[in-house]
Amino acid sequence: MLRAAVLGSPISHSRSPDLHRAAYAALGLPWQYDAIECTKEQFPEFLAGLDEQWRGLSLTMPLKEVVLDVVEDVEEIAQTVRSANTVWRNDESSSWRATNTDIAGMRNALAEVGVTRVERVRILGAGATSRSAAAAAVDLGATMVTIHARREEAARDVAILVETLGGKAEIADLSPDYRGQDLLISTLPADIARPWATVAESPRVPAGALLDASYHPWPTPLATAWAECFPGLPVASGRDMLLWQAVDQVRLMTGAVTDENRDAVVSAMRAALSTG
């Protein structure tokens, strides 16, 4: 039996097992997929100890950066944003590869709510997910990205990434500010982003859409406030981002997703995500 898993710490909240197992069922694959607690200190030894049964790993915090120092074959986009959430190999004799499917996951989640082009974007947070968000924003045409973060040095790194990718960036603190954006992307845990939800509950009407990458629990306070106070403005779910990044992971790890069966696989994964 071939195997894959999601690794991180903490990991008990992860919905990745539901998504990947649903995909395997739709594809008729007798694969096993687990959730495994793993710290960044444990990761190198864990990866080195995997036998020929293993085909892939989904990575969450705090492993998205350390993997870049462990896996030799890292795709350019993951190197650029310094964040990889996917490790895979196609057979027992091939070496491990790493890539980033979070960026495509964000783009697809936004496309589902009608957001395919933006100019001004605000990003909350300055960690690994925020760098993926910055890349997604530039892909969507953003000409100005404002990074709201507590850690100025980390925010500066995200700003440099935006400029490397061809956009312009500025840094701000975490004080809520809705002026002039087409899109707000929150990469913060729901409790830390809560002040932005409080402001959203005021009569002030912000411009643009919301993508809240936090998905447990869903909806977040920010997503709830946005939907209730600004009806008609698009809200992209962190769950849908999770779905689409996992679709690409299944494609890479199994090699079994085709143009003919992709819709059925996505439908099965979406149904699994909607329960629980």
Higher pLDDT, 99 or 177: 99
What is the per-residue pLDDT for 168? 97
What is the per-residue pLDDT for 201? 63
Active site residue 64: yes
What is the pTM assigned to this prediction? 0.93
In the predicted model, is pLDDT for residue 256 greater than 90? yes
How many angstroms separate the most distant Cα atoms in the chain? 60
What is the per-residue pLDDT for 218? 86
What is the per-residue pLDDT for 40? 97
Q: What average pLDDT does the chain have?
A: 93
251-260 mean pLDDT: 97
88-117 mean pLDDT: 95
In the predicted model, is pLDDT for residue 205 greater than 60? no
Name the least confident of 102-111, 134-143, 222-231: 222-231
CB atoms within 10 A of CB 33: 22
In the predicted model, is pLDDT for residue 227 greater than 80? yes
Q: Give the β-pairing of 120-124 and 183-186.
A: parallel
- The residue from 15, 55, 64, 120 that is catalytic is 64
**Domains of the chain, earliest start first:** 3-101+239-274 (3.40.50.10860), 115-233 (3.40.50.720)
| Residue 202 confidence class, pLDDT cut points 50, 70, 90 | low
In the predicted model, is pLDDT for residue 207 greater than 70? no
188-192 mean pLDDT: 88
28-51 mean pLDDT: 98
Cα 40 from chain centroid (whole Å)? 19
| Residue 36 confidence class, pLDDT cut points 50, 70, 90 | very high
In the predicted model, is pLDDT for residue 203 greater than 60? no
2-6 mean pLDDT: 98
Write the DSSP assignment of 98-128 as a string of letters: EE--HHHHHHHHHHHTT----SEEEEE--SH
**CA nearest to 85, candidates 100, 104, 70:** 100
Amino acid identity, position 148: H
7-36 mean pLDDT: 97
CB atoms within 10 A of CB 93: 7
